[in-house]
């Protein structure tokens, strides 16, 4: 690969990253796909099916208090708990050389995993992810308007326990069937994960190979600072995908092509 940056538009676009065929595929990979706020492991179904069809192992764990684990919602769920969710899966499955993918809020979780167990990871992939500010909470990286709106929504919805899920359109999902599917399955997100600090002992990425995929049409403004930071990192691979924030729902084929093609 001779460039750090490529732009994909729809299924018909020709990606600048070379996508291996099944016959040419290298050793079987292990992908761990981590969801973002209000989502669960279920959101990766379309991508996971494609990766499995290409001969790879795929795990899509759900973080505490969300998805099928919504019964575990409590007022003190922290970012460290989310990180532990993922490290426990990796340890239990005895994974090594994994491709660890974090979408949106899940980017913070995979940063924590890379901080704790870099020896298990082959490559980090951030999908339109927010990136942590070590020692600071998620809210400290948000604008006051976004922070105050989410606190207000949580107070009105659950007395401050959790933030209700937004409409699918906020993630760029506008196709009616997809929007209905997404809104039916999203669950409230624990407010405490926005207010607890991200504790890292090492720099973001911990020296591992990194790919950052920025979804650009429409852009999800909350992750703009993280996207700009990723683009500035000359040692990271930066890719743009012309789709909305929930690329795994809107454009699973081209997204899977990127995940198969990362070095």
Q: Which two structure tokens, joined as six digits, stand for 26? A: 């290298």
Phi first, then psi: give them for residue 70, nearest 5 degrees. Answer: -65, -25
What is the Cα–Cα distance from 239 to 235, expressed in whole angstroms? Answer: 13
Residues classed as catalytic: 104
CATH of 27-261, one of 3.30.930.10, 3.40.50.1820, 3.40.50.300, 3.40.50.2000: 3.40.50.1820
How far is residue 189 from each of residues 83, 85, 96, 130, measured CA to CA in Å? 15, 15, 30, 15
3-class secondary structure for 172-241?
A: CCCCHHHHHHHHHHCCCEECHHHHCECCCCCCCCCCCCEEEEEEECCECHHHHHHHHHHHHCCCCEEEEE
Phi-psi region of 35 (alpha: psi -120 to 50; beta: other; left: phi over 0): beta
Helix (H) or strand (E) holding 255: helix 252-261
Phi-psi region of 55 (alpha: psi -120 to 50; beta: other; left: phi over 0): left
Query: Mind listing the pLDDT tens digit of every residue in the chain (263 residues)?
Result: 333 333 344 433 334 454 444 444 457 899 999 999 999 999 999 999 999 999 999 999 999 999 999 999 999 999 999 999 999 999 999 999 999 999 999 999 999 999 999 999 999 999 999 999 889 999 999 999 999 999 999 999 999 999 999 999 999 999 999 999 999 999 999 999 999 999 899 999 999 999 999 999 999 999 999 999 999 999 999 999 999 999 999 999 999 999 999 96
Q: Which two structure tokens, joined as six digits, stand for 170? A: 């906020």
Q: Which two structure tokens, joined as six digits, stand for 133? A: 């500010």
End-to-end CA distance of the chain: 9
Sheet holding 98-103, edge to edge: 7-8, 237-241, 210-215, 121-127, 98-103, 30-34, 57-59
Q: What number of other Cβ atoms are within 10 A of residue 263's Cβ?
A: 10
> Which residues is 127 bridged to in the sheet?
103, 213
pTM strictly above 0.75: yes
Contact 34, 239 (CB under 8 A): no
Show the DSSP H helices in 45-175 as ranges: 45-53, 79-92, 106-116, 144-158
Interacting residues of 111 by C-beta distance below 8 A, sequence separation 6+: 102, 124, 131, 132, 198, 200, 204, 205
């Amino acid at each position: 690969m001779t460039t750090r940056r490529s732009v994909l538009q729809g299924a018909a676009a020709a990606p600048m990253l070379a996508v291996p065929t099944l016959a040419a595929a290298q050793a079987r990979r292990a992908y761990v796909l981590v969801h973002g706020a209000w989502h669960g492991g279920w959101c990766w179904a379309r991508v996971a099916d494609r990766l499995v069809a290409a001969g790879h192992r795929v795990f899509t764990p759900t973080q505490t208090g969300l998805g099928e684990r919504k019964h575990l919602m409590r007022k003190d769920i922290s970012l460290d708990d989310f990180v532990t969710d993922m490290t426990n899966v990796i340890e239990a499955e005895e994974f090594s050389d994994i491709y660890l993918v974090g979408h949106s809020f899940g980017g913070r979780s995979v940063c924590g995993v890379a901080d704790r167990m870099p020896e298990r990871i082959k490559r980090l992939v951030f999908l339109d992810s927010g990136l942590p500010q070590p020692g600071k909470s998620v809210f400290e990286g948000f604008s006051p308007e976004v922070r105050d709106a989410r606190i207000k929504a949580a107070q009105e919805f659950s007395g401050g326990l959790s933030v209700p899920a937004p409409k699918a359109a906020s993630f760029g999902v506008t196709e009616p069937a997809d929007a209905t599917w997404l809104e039916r399955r999203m669950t409230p997100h624990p407010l405490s994960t926005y207010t607890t600090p991200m504790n890292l002992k090492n720099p973001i990425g911990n020296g591992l190979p990194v790919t950052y995929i920025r979804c650009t049409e429409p852009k999800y403004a909350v992750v703009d600072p993280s996207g700009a930071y990723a683009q500035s990192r000359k040692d990271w691979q930066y890719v743009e995908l012309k789709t909305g924030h929930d690329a795994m729902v809107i454009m699973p084929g081209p997204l899977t092509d990127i995940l198969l093609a990362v070095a």
